[in-house]
Structure 1
Amino acid sequence: MPTNIELISRLLFAAVLGGAIGFERERFAFAAGLRTHMLVCVASSLVMVVSAFGFEDTRSMPNVALDPSRVAAQVVSGIGFLGAGAILLRGEMVRGLTTAASVWAVAGIGLAAGGGLYVLAVAATAIILATLTLVKPMSRQVRTKGKLRRALRLRVDRGAITLPVLCRLLGEDGARLKNMSVQTDDDQQRDVVTISLARMSADEFLIYRNMLSELIGVLEVEEIEVQ
């Protein structure tokens, strides 16, 4: 059995690794931050140590057979309760799944640290940190590649283009309308409508532009530079 110093060092090692991941969550003010990740990692490491070495006296008794992994195995299922608390439903959007996954992941790191698998624990920490910090910008870039935010200026008859008209035109894609402004033209008989649309490809933008140009009362449609 390892010495007490060795066992304590495993707990401290787990605290450092869990804190590294928790700090990444903390700086974005997520529900589970630095302290939560450190506590989960240290606690799971402690459970692993207890599971592996806490029943030495009992195991030496005759006719007694114990599975040292049974206690540690409960961390994997039990940590789901804490992770579920980090998941929030806001309207139709689910937030906190990544934070819940990171809490579950640091529990695994704690188990590895408690079991003395230092290299594996460090490698897992590095991979998780890379996933949290690098993959999200990369995925966002892939999703928006080839898509730009675009804007249109329309000269129309007075009152021809209103917000309800645009919402009906865009239909289910109404959320793509980011901004709309209406100004009176110089001759007082026309409106100048400026529409800002979300990121979309050139083909999508051309479809919307053609739809707008075909509306009754639309005299001119031109693309303008987004500020």
Structure 2
Amino acid sequence: MLSDWEMCIRLLLAALLGSLIGLERERLLWAAGLRTHMLVCVGSCLLMIVSAFGFHDALQMAHTELDPSRVAAQVVSGIGFLGAGSILLRGEVIRGLTTAASLWTVAAIGLAVGGGLYAVGTAATFMILLILVAIKPVERLYRNKVKKHVLKLVAPSRTLTLKKVNEVMGNRSSKVKQFIVEKGSQEDTDSVTIELVRTSGAQAEEILKQLLTIEGVQEDQAAQ
């Protein structure tokens, strides 16, 4: 049986580790910030302590068994309502997935510390901080490389073909992922959709200007 002091130390360590991750979320002004992450980490730690050591007297009774993992499993599934709330709070726009994941992992850290796995809980905290802070620029760089831009154009029928686009764009033609030609709203016109990948906003603007040099080609104002 642990002493009261050691139990309190586990709670304090859980609060500290949870605050480190909460500060990173607080810096980005997310609703689930410092206090939320600290509460989740301390709460899960307390549940683990209660599950493992809170029924010591009951265990002295005959034919009594204890399975501390049952509470841990309930924490893992129960933390989902907080994660869902951090996502649904953004309305129709799906945001907050990373914050929901951080809440889930903070609960796991609390369980680890509550179970006495100090080194594992601390290592997991710094790994999560590394993922949240250091990996973000890499993720942003990758997304910028595969960023998509869609150009909507109107041209006389059979004027803007894929062959013509490749000629005008030159080496940049490899950035064309999709080329769709449909019947335009007016007779003898085509509605052309060109999807570009691995293209910055400035590059997309340059490509658009190149395509507009083709006689009769215009931006589809109705699609703006």
Q: Is the 8 A contact 2:25 2:33 kept in 1?
A: yes
Distance 1:199 1:43 in 2: 45
Alignment match, 2:34 = 34
CA drift at 1:145: 4.2
Match of 1:72 in 2: 72
Cα distance between partner residues in 2 of 1:217 and 1:108: 58
How far does residue 53 in structure 1 lie from its aligned partner after superposition?
A: 0.4
Provide structure 2 residue ranges, at least 5 long, that are not aligned to the other structure: 150-189, 219-224
Q: Report the equivalent of 1:120.
A: 120
TM-score by length of 1: 0.68
Q: Which TM-score applies when normalising by structure 2?
A: 0.69
Q: Is the Cα contact below 8 Å between 1:31 and 1:96 reproduced in 2?
A: no
Deviation at 1:94, TM superposition (A): 0.7
- 1:105 is matched with 105
Q: Give the counterpart letter for 1:28 in structure 2.
A: L
Decide which structure has greater strand share.
1
Q: How many residues align?
A: 175
CA distance in 2, matches of 1:97, 1:146: 21
Amino acid at match of 1:17: L
Distance 1:78 1:215, change over 3 A: farther
Give runs of aligned pairs for residues 48-197 of structure 1, distance below 5 A: 48-88=48-88, 89-91=90-92, 93-145=93-145, 171=193
Q: Which amino acid aligns with 1:101?
A: A
Instruction: Specify the SS of the correspondent of 1:94.
Output: coil
Q: Do the aligned residues in 2 keep the contact of 1:31 with 1:99 (CA within 8 Å)?
A: no
Question: CA RMSD of the aligned region, Å?
Answer: 3.0
Specify whether residues 214 and 172 from structure 1 end up closer, same or farther in structure 2 by C-alpha distance, changes over 3 A only: closer
The alignment partner of 1:95 has SS state of coil
> Is contact 1:146-1:201 (8 Å) kept?
no
Amino acid of the residue matched to residue 76 of structure 1? V
Q: Which runs of 5+ in 1 are unaligned?
A: 150-167, 177-197, 219-227
User: Could you say which residue in structure 2 is the equivalent of 1:165?
Assistant: none
> Does the aligned pair in 1 maintain the 2:211–2:217 contact within 8 Å?
no
- CA distance in structure 2 between the partners assigned to 1:201 and 1:85 by the alignment: 37
- Cα distance in 2, alignment partners of residues 57 and 31 from structure 1: 41
Matched-pair contact (CA < 8 Å) for 2:87–2:96 = yes
Q: Distance in 1 between matches of 2:134 and 2:191?
A: 38
Q: Percent identity?
A: 54
- 8 Å CA contact 2:45–2:113 kept in 1: the answer is yes
d(CA) in 2 for partners of 1:59 and 1:23? 40
Runs ≥4 in structure 1, deviation > 2 angstroms?
Answer: 88-91, 142-147, 168-174, 204-211, 215-218
The answer for the alignment partner of 1:185 in structure 2 is none
